[in-house]
Amino acid sequence: MGRLFGTDGVRGVANADLTAEMALGLSVAAAHVLAEAGTFKGHRPVAVVGRDPRASGEFLEAAVVAGLASAGVDVLRVGVLPTPAVAYLTGALGADLGVMLSASHNPMPDNGVKFFARGGHKLADELEDRIESTYREHASGEPWDRPTGAGVGRVKEYDEGFDKYVAHLVGVLPNRLDGLRVVIDGAHGAAARVSPEAFARAGAEVVTIATEPDGLNINDGCGSTHLDGLRAAVVEHGADLGVAHDGDADRCLAVDAAGEEIDGDQILSVLALGMKEAGTLRGNTVVATVMSNLGFKLAMEREGVELLQTAVGDRYVLEEMKRGGYSLGGEQSGHVIVLDHATTGDGTLTGLMLAARVAATGRPLAELAGVMRRLPQVLVNVRDVDKTRVSSSARLATAVNEAEKELGETGRVLLRSSGTEPLVRVMVEAADLEQARAVAERLADEVKSALG
């Protein structure tokens, strides 16, 4: 039986893998585990619960709220808001727990449950493991110890969450965005209202696309995984830049005035140099993952910025940032963490800070992002294989060693299991695109053969 928790909560096809019963059980388990850990000691516990606009989020939210209240936790329902908004509100309201219902960039049929600890920080692996084991124990028939009477949790709507979060975003910007025209792709997701409102309050002229969620269209041909619509809109409206979110808006990618993509590595480059100039880049260091483009590493070396690399997953970036007291980190996918202002990746904040740098310098985004040159990088997702055997396969280790020798110092290879999807990712970088593609395809065939 595999682990329920991946790198970003529990995910699966809603009403198939992730059922109402599971959502309820996980919530009750989380309440009991946190109570045993002393989180609720001496006071009546409070949880903040939010979701993205997926249709399945409606019944899953109801299940989570029921589970928490049945375990004696008071619940503040904040409705449809980004994941980082739920994290922020958990901290700002002094709540003991935050719960977000979302599957981020995954297709609409999927959904997920993500827990935040007090302060809005992601739960430690050890607590997730205890929640999972407690859930499994009771799912097999062990009855819960439940409060009655006045001991049950109360449920309230917290409608002020939207304005409180937007005010926070605008309030932490180093400068206004007056004079900029920005196109925002909301992915028909959780940022559909928040992001345009925040950019407008910060002074930008805002054009929106994919900001009309109906519960079924989230991430459908739009957002950070489908940039064509944003590219076209930026060029059509003569905008200075475009910002694309994913379904739960914990990430952001951008396009420049010509419609060219600006990925997470380039965004980190721009923000790192801006923060270094302002004296807010603590430790003169950026934290990123092993998936970062080699061009990003070379650019940071040239600009005198230290780069620390972690395993893939924003939780590991965050752990390293906390350990070293660093202020900036992120992933190529657009998860960017500005730890002075957020406890997790925040796509709206990232987009705002990127736009603020353009406004402050008066330089086009393309010029700012030109500090790094992306080396050709090919990523192949290999499905229908046993991803648990990637690290133990001697055959794959040999294939990777041979590929690395072929590429030399101008390239690199990375094989890893996805933490959120049933697949293995093959990533190859090389100075030449055709060489990168050929090596990636050869390794993908090896993965299919060895793990199929």
Catalytic residues: 104
Structure tokens at 389: 């055997």
42, burial (CB in 10 Å: exposed 0-12, middle 13-18, buried 19+): exposed
State both tokens at 262: 């600006």
Q: Are 86 and 78 in contact (CB under 8 A)?
A: yes
Termini Cα distance of the chain? 19
Neighbours of 244 (CB within 10 A): 31
Q: What is the spatial distance between Cα 224 and Cα 403, in angstroms, rounded to a whole number?
A: 30
What 3-state DSSP class applies to 194? helix
- Please answer whether residues 373 and 295 qualify as being in contact, where contact means their C-beta atoms are separated by less than 8 angstroms: yes
C-alpha–C-alpha distance, residues 285 and 314, integer Å: 16
Binding residues for Mg(2+): 104, 246, 248, 250
Is residue 87 a contact partner of residue 47, using CB atoms and an 8 Å limit? Answer: no
The first and second tokens of residue 16, run together, are: 């198939």
Q: Copy the structure tokens of residue 124.
A: 């430690």
Helix (H/G/I), strand (E/B), else coil: 444: helix
Residue 424 near residue 390 (C-beta atoms within 8 A)? yes
The pair of structure tokens assigned to 43 is: 């006071």
Cα–Cα dist 281/278, whole Å: 8
CA atoms within 13 A on the CB side of 306: 10
Under DSSP, the state recorded for 149 is: G
DSSP 155: E
Whole-angstrom Cα distance, residue 128 to residue 253? 29
Cα–Cα distance for residue pair 195/204, rounded to 1 Å: 11
Least Cα distance to 383 among 310, 309, 452 occurs for: 452
Residue with tokens 């790192």: 272
Beta bridge partners of 310: 289
- Residues at the binding site are 104, 246, 248, 250
Beta strand 285-289 with 306-310: parallel, antiparallel or unpaired? Answer: parallel
